[in-house]
Amino acid sequence: MKRIQGLLLCGGWLLGVCTGLAAQVPDPRPFGEGIVAADLRPDLELLASDSLQGREAGTPGAEMAAAFIEARFRALGLRPVVGDSSYRQSLRLDRVQIRGGFLAAGGRQFRHLEEVICWEGAPGQDSLHLPLVVAAGAEDAPALAGKAVLIRAGMAEIRELAGRYRRRGAAALLAVTADSPETFAEQSKLLRLYLAQGRMKTGQDSPMPILLVSPLVASHVLKVPLDQLDAAFQSPDSLSPLPVSIAIDQVWTYQQTDNVIGYLPGAGKPEETVMVTAHYDHLGERRGKLFPGADDNASGVVALLEIAEAFAEAREQGLRPYRSVVFMAFAAEEKGLLGSDFYADHPVFDLEQTVVNLNMDMVGHLDDAHGPKEARFVSIVGSDWLSADLHQIHEAANARYTQLLLDYTYNAKDHPERFYYRSDQYHFAKHGIPVIFYTSGDHEDYHQPSDRVENIHFGRLQGVARLVFYTAWEVAFRPERLRLDPQD
């Protein structure tokens, strides 16, 4: 970002002539217009360079990226979050390599990657023999201690449901995630390569075995015909499921990584926070190929750094926001949103006082639906899910300052890609915190070695970074807190 030599406030304060923008909020344009493509490029070239080895969580490349972000936060004068000097929130990563396994019940054995998928293991629990109970929902099946729980759930729900059942004493979780044996077989094929890389989780909880099971397995252990399985899950009290034996061949290793966090304290309500976030990890090297992750998510990180610099410049010009602004680079998003999951369970700032999360993940590439003529676009997810105030502010900021094409395709609550749940903003949204997820959407270089700097559209990246800055500015400076919409 270019240094701003003079403060241009258009008379000192901007009157809210656009619906959704409050009066008595300083003009952000002298600072937002300092976010330029020429400053975004060199940082992105560094983060996506071969020397950072694809920034896989827990590797030296990811540590180099974290050190770079921390150094920038320090140079900008952001406040550290641990003591007087540290911008790091450390978390342990537990990696399990599952080499095989099976589930047995009623004289039959179902093998890993055939009729069951050993999704997660637990250290020291290679073999278990457990009674089985069936739960139709997270609060069902009250007597869980020492038992395996069988549920029907989507993949996106597994981790959260497993945590709930574990805290209530369950010893293992079996999940039916496919609606037919054929769908399960396809799921197993898709997950085979993913599982070969090893599953990773944070070391904050005692893990328990999690197995994804085919509807055929569920039919067997519940002793009901396959075509009556749906009805069986609706009446769990009428069932007498078979006890199960679980065996998992597993190897555990341990690593450490860090969320990187800095903030600018607010002048009015410093306990309230506006969170601007992006994850900095990527996929590293696989099968001898480097995955540089230029769009995913070096683009979000460099936008985060430029937005932080714009706020820091405003502070030097005497403008302090009404509430605190927090800048956070998450670790281990590619391992299952682990950095943001850990933060939500161990928040540095009170979640009840967290006003909004603006999260950027893949914001520099053109997607499959928008060609060069529509380069100034951004896919928006979540802006109207929890707060109409936030949606109005975001749209007004775009209309007044950036004029991007806002694509809400992935915002549909029934969209099959479920983007709302697939990046770090989800761990704020699940606590009732309004969020906006800014993204490129799907494109041909997603999770490919070809996700390189030469495929980044820096004019588009500049526009998205400015929009996030203008939205964060409005929420941070306006005295009124965002109102939450009534939820079902």
- What pLDDT score was predicted for residue 14? 36
Mean pLDDT of the 309-328 span:
98
pLDDT at 351 over 80: yes
- What pLDDT score was predicted for residue 113? 94
pLDDT at 121 over 60: yes
pLDDT at 488 over 80: no
- What pLDDT score was predicted for residue 237? 84
Mean pLDDT of the 94-106 span:
93
Cα 265 to chain centroid distance, Å, stands at: 25
* Domain(s) of CATH 3.40.630.10: residues in the chain: 29-79+265-477
* Domain(s) of CATH 3.50.30.30: residues in the chain: 94-253
Q: Classify strands 172-176 and 269-279 as parallel, antiparallel or unpaired.
A: unpaired
- What pLDDT score was predicted for residue 206? 67
- Express each pLDDT in 394-437 by its tens digit: 999 999 999 999 999 999 998 988 899 999 999 999 999 999 99
The matching CATH number, chosen from 3.90.400.10, 1.20.120.160, 3.50.30.30, 3.30.360.10, for 94-253 is 3.50.30.30
Confidence of residue 386 (pLDDT cuts 50, 70, 90): very high
Question: Distance (Å, rounded) from C-alpha 155 to C-alpha 106?
Answer: 27
- What pLDDT score was predicted for residue 12? 36
Mean pLDDT of the 43-66 span:
97
| 3-state per-residue secondary structure call for the chain | CCCCCCCCCCCCCECCCCCCCCCCECCCHHHHCCCCHHHHHHHHHHHCCHHHHHHECCCHHHHHHHHHHHHHHHHCCCECCECCCECEEEEEEEEEEEEEEEEEECCEEEEECCCEEEEECCCCCCEEEECEEECCCCCCCCCCCCCEEEEECCHHHHHHHHHHHHHCCCCEEEEECCCCHHHHHHHHHHHHHHHHCCEEEECCCCCCCEEEECHHHHHHHHCCCHHHHHHHHHCHHHCCCCCEEEEEEEEEEEEEEEEEEEEECCCCEEEEEEEEEEECCECEEECCEEECCHHHHHHHHHHHHHHHHHHHHHHHCCCCCCEEEEEEEECCHHHCCHHHHHHHHCCCCCHHHEEEEEEECCCCCCCCCCCHHHCCEEEEECCCCCCHHHHHHHHHHHHHHHCCEEECHHHCCCCCCCHHHCCCCHHHHCCCCCEEEEECCCCCCCCCCCCCHHHCCHHHHHHHHHHHHHHHHHHHHCCCCCCCCCCC
- What pLDDT score was predicted for residue 2? 43
> Bigger pLDDT: 19 or 226?
226
Is the domain 29-79+265-477 a CATH 3.30.360.10 member? no
- What pLDDT score was predicted for residue 140? 56
CA distances from 380 to 36, 420, 438, 441, 468 (A): 21, 10, 5, 9, 11
pTM above 0.75, yes or no: yes
Burial class (CB in 10 A: 0-12, 13-18, 19+), 473: buried
Of 62-66, 119-123, 196-200, the one with minimum mean pLDDT is: 196-200
- Express each pLDDT in 429-455 by its tens digit: 999 999 999 998 889 999 999 999 999
For the chain, what is the mean pLDDT?
Answer: 91
